[in-house]
Amino acid sequence: MKTYIKVGKIINTFGIKGELKVLSDFEFKDRIFTNDFALFIGDNKIKETINNHRVHKGLDLILLNNYSNINEVLKYKNKIIYIDKDDLKLNPGEYLLSDLINFDVYDNDKIIGKVIDYEKNKAYSLLKIMGEKTFYIPNIPDFIIDIDFKDKKIITNKGSDLIL
C-alpha cells in the first residue's frame, strides 16, 4: 500500500500554456519538483508526472506531461499535491519532519512529552510537543542531541527550559 505525503497545494494556473502555481514548504522540494517525478493530485490521487519546473516569485511553477493548455489543467486548481513516500530518495541521516510525529521527547532521561505536529518558519522547523503543557522545540542540533528512529525517541538537552 502506498504511503502518500502532502507536499503542497495548487493555488492557481500561470499563463496560457498549462503551468500550475504550487504553494509548498516541503523540505525536499529540490528532489520532487524535477522532470518525470510522479505526483498524485487531489483526493482521488490522480497520477501525473512533471514535465518542467521553475520558481517564480517564491512559488513553484510546474508543467505536467501531456498538458499544454490552461483549460486542460483548470481541474487541478485548489487541489492538494501528494507524492508516494517510496519515490523520495533520502540520504543516510535525512528524514521527513512528518516521520517524527508521535515520537516521545526526553530531556535528561525524563520524558517531557510527545511530538504532535511541526511548524516551519524562515529560520528552522519547530517540533510541537504535548506534555504537561504544549511547547515547541527547534529542530536544530543545539536543542536535539539524538533522534532514535528504532525506539521513536528524541533526546534533547534543553527541552525542560522551553516548557512555559
Instruction: Tally Cβ neighbours within 10 Å of residue 128.
Output: 16
Q: State whether 17 and 76 are in the same domain.
A: yes
Containing domain of residue 117, as a range? 97-162
For residue 102, the number of C-alpha atoms closer than 13 Å in the C-beta half-sphere is 4
Query: What are the tens digits of pLDDT across the range 26-35?
Result: 999 999 999 9
pTM of the prediction?
0.81
Q: State whether 81 and 133 are in the same domain.
A: no
* Domain end among 60, 87, 114: 87
How close are the terminal C-alpha atoms of the chain, in Å?
Answer: 41
Cβ–Cβ < 8 Å for 2, 54: no
| C-alpha–C-alpha distance, residues 115 and 100, integer Å | 7
Which pLDDT value is given to residue 164? 44
Q: State whether 9 and 83 are in the same domain.
A: yes
Q: State whether 11 and 79 are in the same domain.
A: yes
Query: What are the tens digits of pLDDT across the range 93-132?
Result: 889 999 999 999 999 889 999 999 998 887 889 999 999 9
* Domain end among 31, 62, 87: 87
Q: State whether 77 and 147 are in the same domain.
A: no
